[in-house]
Structures are given as C-alpha cells and as structure tokens.
C-alpha cells in the first residue's frame, strides 16, 4: 500500500527527519517496501533491519543508490551512518524490524478486510496456494509470495495490500514456540487454517510433537470470537484444536468429522482424482499436482471458499488449474527419464508421502534421492531410518542418501534389501545422476533447503548423457 512518509512514520512508530533541502519530505510517497538493498526498486522505503549475518545499516548507501525514497534506521545507528545517508529522509525508530512490523499492522488495520492465515508442519505453502486459488473464483485475492512467512516476510507481504484486494491469504511459519502468536499479533487474522502437526523443527521442542502442536495451536488461539478455524480432521493433534475455540470450526479431510470430505483419492499420470462431498453435494476434482496428500490441501481450499460464499463448482474449476510451485513437485523430462523435483524442502511426513507417489509411477526403475532433513536434533537418526524403511516397504528400486543423517536412511533401506548409496553433498548427487541415470527411470529428488539438492538437477541438466556405470 502506498503511503506518504508522514503516515509511514506514524504507522511505524518512528520520527521523520529530512535534510533542509527536502522541505516536503512528509508528502513523499513510498511506492513499496524493502529490506534488501540488492533488489530495492526506485521509490521504495528501505528498512535497515539487522539479521544474523548482516546489518542493514551497512547498506543504506546502496539502498539510496538503488532509488530508495527514504530509510528506516535505528536511533543508535544514526550518528554512524555515512554522509550519503543523510541526503534522504530518515525514519528514526528504536528498532527497524519492530518498525516494519508496526507499519504492517497499521496497513492491515487501514485495509480492514478479511485475512486467512495458514500454518502447519507440512504442506502449508501448497495449502495457501489452494486457498487463494479457490477464493479467486469470486474475489480479488492477495496472497503471500512463495513461503515468505516469518517475522520479516509476513510484514512485507502485508505491506503489499491494496484497496482493491477483497481478501488476503497469508502463510505463517515457525520453528520455536511463540512465533505464530507474534505473527498473529502483526497480521490479526480473521480465519485460520491448520494443516497438520509433524516433526519439522522438532529439535527446538523438548517435548517433541506435543510442543509443536501447542505452537501450531497459537494460530487458533489468536482468532477472534467470530472467526473460523479450518482444521484437518485426519490429524490426531489438529482435529482436537477446535475443543477450546469459541468461534466456528470447520473440519476437512477424509474422516467422518469432515465437511468437505474426501470420499476417494487416486493418483495416476494424469493427476490426483478426488471424489468429494461438500454438504449434500458430491462431485469430482482432478488436481494437476504430485501426491495424493494434495487432496487434503485442496479440501482446505474448498472449505475456506465455501465459507466465503464461493460456488463449489467454481472453486473446483479454479483448483483444477492449480500448478506446482518452483521445486515443489515439478515434473522434468531429462535424458529419457522423469525427474520429480520436490527439492525445495523436506520433513519426514512429506518425504514418506512423496515416496508413495514415486512408488505409484510407472517406471523402469524408481529411484529416491533423499537429502538430509534438518532440525531433527536427537530424533534425526530414527526419523531418517524410518523413511529408509518406508522406501523399502514401498518397493523403491534404489535409494540414494545425501549428506549427514541421510546415512541412516540409506542404512535402513540397505538393511531391508534395497540397493543404496550415500553421498556427501548435492554436487556428488548430481554427478551420480549423470553417471547412472537411464531412460525410463523415475527419480524423486527431495531434501531440506540447506542441502540444496536443486544443484544436483542443475548438474544433470547441464551435462550430456553418459553411459551408465555399475552401482
């Protein structure tokens, strides 16, 4: 939302100061908002936030060179700024990150319409896309970009709200307790969707999944009394979240408590075919997405859309065109083989689901390339080993583990009789694929973001075919 600097300063809880040469500083308009001097666009307001490895105050000059209209800086850092930084208006705050969040809340309240927040251990980005897509059959929807879902990304997405937007769908992530509660204070959601409670980030919770469940429940607890909680009926934790919520609860999934309810879901090469019931109506939906688990994500989208007044068939038409996001179930054809590129991130629940998807694909060989799943803590070895056993039980022909705890996955698969190999990093995985990939293979590539398994695909794509070598 475009704001003049005077209003931006008020919303951010900052003091506007400007060079004498700029007499109308308060009337200048912020065309957008940024925390990255490398990508800032002319006219944007730059927030000099501090991160774990950087301090935005070191890049104020670069932001000015990029065309920043003004910068939000810390009161303690003003005297240390270079002279060039004093050539533009400054919004002086105690902390630029807090100012960013305060301004986001100001814009959200000025906008004043419905916000739907989505969280969960797995599938929240796809669910956010499904919710936004189903709602778009009737409304002008603003949705958060990618998975910008933390205390930096969420405020930046709120600042993109415009008067013409009729509803907003935002993703909320967390890796510690209290984070979703803090994000909810910024976004003030009206409705909330919770997908599941898994083991992602379990190393940060001394009491395991129970602690993760309490952290996810923070979204439901933040909703107003007239709000709506959309809960996955099939998840043993999430299905209980409605007990202590005073507002309306809508359950979705396969179980008898669900409405909308999945009556059947079958995956083939054409997509995921869902037969569903919503109210007294039964109908069908085919998703152009990998994995039967996406049927649950689609049900969340339908549940929210129906409550918002979208016609069921209109929502289904919209969802039938939903496509996979970048590195989130993309299907690539390389050297006569099929690559299932799900390399953006991983956790045990998502990996086991995608193993079933791989197992269902017609192939000469089904190969799993599984990167280490991070933030598992002391649970890591057992959780990786369980995924190795799941691969063996699903009939996967070959398992390749990449980095760290993925060695336990490889060992478990090999113990169960599956040919397996362990590699140290993504580059080694790319070179292994170069040497071993055969026409007719179907390969699932999945790992935590920090493993960068997309690099393996890049190496494979950039290299000519070679004769296969023995494993």
Q: Name the pLDDT band for 464 (thresholds 50, 70, 90).
A: low
Q: Is 382 helix (H, G, I), strand (E, B) or coil?
A: helix
- Residue 465 has a pLDDT of 53
| DSSP summary character for residue 307 | H
Flag whether pLDDT at 326 surpasses 80.
no
Q: What is the mean pLDDT of the chain?
A: 93
User: Can you tell me which residue has the tokens 């089904």?
Assistant: 366
DSSP for 220-235 reads HHHS-TT-EEEEETTS
296-319 CB burial, b ≥16 within 10 A, e <16:
bbbbbbbbbbbebebebeebbebb
- Average confidence (pLDDT) over 159-164: 97
Flag whether pLDDT at 470 surpasses 50.
no
Q: Do residues 252 and 274 lie in contact, with contact meaning Cβ atoms separated by under 8 Å?
A: no
Which pair of structure tokens corresponds to residue 113?
A: 């319409």
pLDDT tens digits along 361-389: 999 999 999 999 998 899 999 999 999 99
């Amino acid at each position: 939302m475009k704001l003049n600097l005077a209003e931006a300063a008020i919303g951010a809880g900052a003091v506007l100061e400007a060079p004498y040469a700029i007499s109308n500083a308060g009337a200048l308009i912020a065309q957008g908002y940024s925390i990255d001097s490398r990508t800032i666009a002319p006219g944007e307001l730059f927030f000099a936030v501090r991160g774990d490895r950087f301090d935005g105050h070191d890049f104020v000059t670069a932001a000015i060179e990029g065309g920043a209209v003004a910068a939000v800086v810390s009161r303690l850092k003003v005297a240390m700024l270079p002279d060039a930084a004093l050539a533009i208006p400054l919004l002086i705050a105690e902390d630029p990150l807090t100012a960013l969040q305060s301004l986001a809340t100001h814009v959200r309240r000025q906008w004043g319409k419905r916000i739907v927040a989505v969280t969960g251990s797995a599938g929240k980005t796809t669910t956010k896309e499904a919710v936004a897509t189903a709602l778009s059959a009737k409304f002008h929807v603003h949705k958060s970009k990618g998975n910008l879902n933390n205390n930096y990304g969420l405020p930046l997405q709120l600042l993109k709200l415009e008067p013409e937007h009729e509803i907003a769908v935002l993703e909320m992530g967390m890796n510690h307790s209290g984070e979703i509660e803090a994000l909810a204070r910024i976004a003030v959601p009206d409705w909330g969707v919770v997908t599941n409670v898994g083991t992602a980030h379990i190393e940060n919770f001394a009491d395991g999944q129970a602690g993760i469940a309490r952290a996810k429940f923070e979204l439901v607890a933040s909703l107003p009394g007239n709000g709506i909680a959309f809960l996955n009926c099939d998840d043993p934790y999430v299905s209980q979240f409605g007990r202590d919520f005073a507002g309306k609860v809508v359950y979705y999934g396969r179980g008898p408590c669900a409405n909308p309810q999945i009556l059947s879901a079958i995956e083939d090469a054409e997509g995921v075919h869902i037969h569903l019931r919503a109210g007294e109506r039964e109908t069908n939906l085919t998703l152009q997405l990998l994995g039967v688990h996406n049927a649950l994500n689609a049900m969340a989208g339908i549940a929210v859309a129906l409550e918002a007044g979208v016609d069921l068939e209109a929502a289904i038409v919209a969802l039938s065109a939903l496509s996979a996001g970048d590195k989130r179930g993309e299907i690539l054809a390389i050297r006569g083989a099929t690559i299932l590129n799900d390399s953006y991130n991983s956790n045990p629940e998502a990996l086991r689901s995608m193993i079933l998807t791989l197992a269902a694909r017609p192939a000469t060989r089904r190969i799993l390339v599984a990167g280490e799943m991070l933030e598992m803590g002391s649970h890591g070895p057992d959780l990786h080993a369980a995924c190795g056993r799941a691969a063996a039980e699903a009939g996967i022909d070959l398992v390749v583990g990449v980095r760290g705890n993925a060695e336990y996955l490889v060992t478990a698969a090999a113990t169960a009789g599956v040919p397996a190999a362990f590699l140290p990093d993504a580059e080694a995985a790319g070179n292994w694929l170069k040497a071993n990939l055969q026409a007719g293979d179907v390969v699932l590539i999945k790992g935590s973001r920090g493993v960068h398994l997309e690099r393996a695909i890049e190496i494979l794509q950039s290299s000519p075919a070679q004769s296969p070598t023995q494993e």
